[in-house]
Structure 1
Amino acid sequence: MILVTGASGTVGRLVLDRLPADLDVRALTRNPSRITTTRPRTDIAQGDYADQASLERALRGVRGALLVTNRVTSDDDARFLAAARAAGVQHIVKLSAAAVQDPDANDVITSWQRTNEELLRASGIAWTLLRPRAFMSNTLSWASSIRSEGVVRALYGTAANVCVDPRDIADVAVEALTGSGHHGQAYTLTGPEAVSAVQQTGVLARVLGIPLRFEELSPDDAVTAWSLRYPEALAKALLHSAERQRAGAKREMDPTVSVVTGRPARSYATWAADHAGSFAALGGTEWAPESEPVRSPATGTA
Structure 2
Amino acid sequence: MILVTGATGTVGRAVVERLPAGLRVRLMARDPARITGGGPAAERVAGDHGDPRSLARALAGVRTAFLVTTRVSGGDDERFVRAARMAGVQRVVKLSAAAVLDSGAQDLITRWQRAGEELLRASGVEWTVLRPRAFMSNSLSWAASVRSQGTVRALYGRSGNACVDPRDVAEAAVRVLTEEGHAGRAYTLTGPRAVTAAAQTQELGRQLGVVLRFEELSVGQARAALAERYPAPVVEALLQSAERLCAGAKAGVEDGVGALTGRPAGTFAAWAGDHLAAFAPVTEGTGT
Identify the TM-score tier after normalising by the shorter chain.
Answer: over 0.9
Match status 1:162 vs 2:162: yes
Is contact 2:91-2:125 (8 Å) kept? yes
Counterpart CA distance in 1 for 2:69 and 2:38 is 24
Deviation of 1:228 after TM superposition, in Å, equals 2.6
Is contact 1:21-1:41 (8 Å) kept? no
Deviation string 1:243-267 (CA, Å, 9 cap, x unpaired) is: 1011000111101111110011000
Deviation of 1:92 after TM superposition, in Å, equals 0.5
C-alpha RMSD of matched pairs (Å): 1.1
Q: For 2:66, what is the secondary structure of its paired residue?
A: strand
User: What is the aligned partner in structure 1 of residue 53 from structure 2?
Assistant: 53
User: What is the aligned partner in structure 2 of residue 6 from structure 1?
Assistant: 6
Deviation string 1:170-209 (CA, Å, 9 cap, x unpaired) is: 0110000001111111000000000000000011001111
Deviation of 1:281 after TM superposition, in Å, equals 8.0
Is contact 2:108-2:233 (8 Å) kept? yes
Count matched residues: 282
User: What is the aligned partner in structure 1 of residue 217 from structure 2?
Assistant: 217
The structure with higher relative contact order (CA 8 Å, sep 6+) is 1
Counterpart CA distance in 2 for 1:281 and 1:177 is 39
Is contact 1:49-1:79 (8 Å) kept? yes
Is contact 1:69-1:76 (8 Å) kept? yes
Deviation of 1:277 after TM superposition, in Å, equals 1.4
Counterpart CA distance in 2 for 1:14 and 1:244 is 29
Counterpart CA distance in 2 for 1:279 and 1:9 is 20
Deviation of 1:31 after TM superposition, in Å, equals 1.0
Deviation of 1:38 after TM superposition, in Å, equals 4.8
Deviation string 1:214-238 (CA, Å, 9 cap, x unpaired) is: 0000011101221232222111111
Q: For 1:89, what is the secondary structure of its paired residue?
A: coil
User: What is the aligned partner in structure 2 of residue 98 from structure 1?
Assistant: 98
Deviation of 1:51 after TM superposition, in Å, equals 1.4
Counterpart CA distance in 1 for 2:273 and 2:206 is 9
Deviation of 1:49 after TM superposition, in Å, equals 1.2
User: What is the aligned partner in structure 2 of residue 300 from structure 1?
Assistant: none
Q: Structure 2-normalised TM-score?
A: 0.96
Q: Which moved more, 1:48-57 or 1:112-121?
A: 48-57
Counterpart CA distance in 1 for 2:269 and 2:185 is 29
Is contact 2:19-2:38 (8 Å) kept? no
User: What is the aligned partner in structure 1 of residue 286 from structure 2?
Assistant: none
User: What is the aligned partner in structure 2 of residue 249 from structure 1?
Assistant: 249
Paired-residue identity, %: 60
Counterpart CA distance in 2 for 1:254 and 1:281 is 35
Match status 1:33 vs 2:33: yes
Counterpart CA distance in 2 for 1:38 and 1:93 is 19
Q: For 1:11, what is the secondary structure of its paired residue?
A: helix
Unaligned residue ranges in structure 1 (runs of 5+): 283-302
Deviation of 1:22 after TM superposition, in Å, equals 0.8
Q: For 1:7, what is the secondary structure of its paired residue?
A: coil
Stretches of 4+ aligned residues off by more than 6 angstroms: none
Deviation of 1:280 after TM superposition, in Å, equals 3.2
Deviation string 1:117-171 (CA, Å, 9 cap, x unpaired) is: 0000000000000000000000001000000000000001101100000000001
User: What is the aligned partner in structure 1 of residue 174 from structure 2?
Assistant: 174
Counterpart CA distance in 1 for 2:281 and 2:147 is 9
